[in-house]
Structure 1
């Protein structure tokens, strides 16, 4: 099994992952405790959402274990031709721009403090406290080799039967020609009484003692929020949840030197999720609609007025659409790919716009393919069967690719 430094890419493992496997994958590569990175992500979330943005960026760039496909390439197909270095640089730039736009205040030196804590408690602490001791004693294999060498030398000791003359009869079959001298067995290979498992013994159980520290720290933080509330500062539910999360997080850091108490990690994660939900609600941040969507419509009664996807791949199949009157449809994709299939029995007018990316159209008398910035145009698709009704489609892609075909 290759060492973490020899891995070709940083992948997200399928075992030991709590959410997306980002912290577990980075911890495996850097040889850290994954809980330390999870705490850092939660703490950095309170600095302008930096933790969530960084986690999302890593989630888009780190493939699953056993796969080499970057999730961002599957989410945005037009990036499959980009070099890996360009993809990473663009993703980091987008993450920095998002943090600057959403949370420009309250960042300060906080992230630097968190990074220092990860280095001090994780990398530096591990190198100082868990450095492997120098091996001065010989290994069991070396002991056995030395014993065997001594046995070969001791063949000349009394008890070794040497041939007296060429005419001397050979020893009878099965007769021992020399007596093996006594050598003390290697102590490392011998089974001793104290090495045997004690009957009825159980593995060491994790103690609940650190829960007192967690509850004390959380209670003290809640009391501090209450006192600050009486002094005029806002004591919101978000502040109380953050106080409890801080107490549990400090206890998790302390538990890296001892055995982690039971249930502390899941309780801390639940508190972090609740705190993050309150933070998103308080900031009024809308959860983006992302992923892969596909719609197919056959009648004008089922056709909506608009379809929107903020990030991902959207497919709108209108190939079997039948209209009883003139209708219009607006389709918008923020970042990703839009696949539009226009009907053959309905006269269709496609007004399209691509802010940055590519536009490809097939099914017309002359195919069209364009790429660049601020692309726009209007493409007619006459009805093949002489339909009397018209469908007007407004297709817009912010960043990505637009494919229109019949």
Structure 2
């Protein structure tokens, strides 16, 4: 058991050492920014587009993808000019000026990696790169550079074959001793029009064209199904929409990585772009609870039993008119509204006691004259009406994701 453990550790160290010695080279052409994605794609035979998408997906998880890209830009050498007498390009390190800039960018990037998703994303990215090199290190490896003449000494000249061609209609004066005249014409010249001195080889059978592997479309369909199922399951368990989209995006990212190895799954790029864009929209535009219906809801009850405890809309508006509500002294009514994207308006009788909580994740609130706006706008107001205490008590809890909340009297 000890020998097995040591063998595993040695294999891990050998893989890391080989990765560092043959690490990807950033090309002079074909790169979009620093050439890191193009370098990985060329080194391991992967479509660079998939690598770029993987970096973008990793950036959503606490900036891990951005940090990994900057590390590759810093540590991967750049393709240089070939040395004289060779066609193989050299490997040049990153310039000192650019290295200083990248290090300055890495300092806040590393300090950014303080959350669990960012640390997990960084670990997954490094693990995928290790497995990529462990399984496909033979792909795209640069051939050994030609050795200089000073190391090998003068090379013997290659033998030059004797010229056995003769002009048609003449005979050779000194035929080579091992030259045996052809007695029959070759298959490609049944009439014997060509001189036998033209000792051309028999034509070989043409190579059969390499059969192209059929596209593995099942990778895209399976990954899309798993992403939709994971997002639906997260939503059913009560997770917010942003979390469900993040889970779906992670499944699509894993599918693209698997597709890069199996030569498939390019269709997932078209699905990952809108999912990622919607995730960014939700991050910048909070929508609150999206489990309600769509549209506008106007309620004008006249009795307490006709008032629901909560009115919900995913997108739209809730207008709750309580001016005609009959509520006696000592009675208390609890109700509220929750709108993901839209507005809430509550109209109250002039003499009823009110305790109102008005909140908007992004927008404005005007709660019985007390107003505020911006992110996390919230106000809680206790108002006893024009005639002071008495006349019943209404407790309101009004929350909107993005939009406005307004509570007025009369």
TM-score tier after normalising by the smaller chain length? 0.3 to 0.5
Structure index of larger Rg: 2
**TM-score normalised over the length of structure 1:** 0.39
**TM-score normalised over the length of structure 2:** 0.39
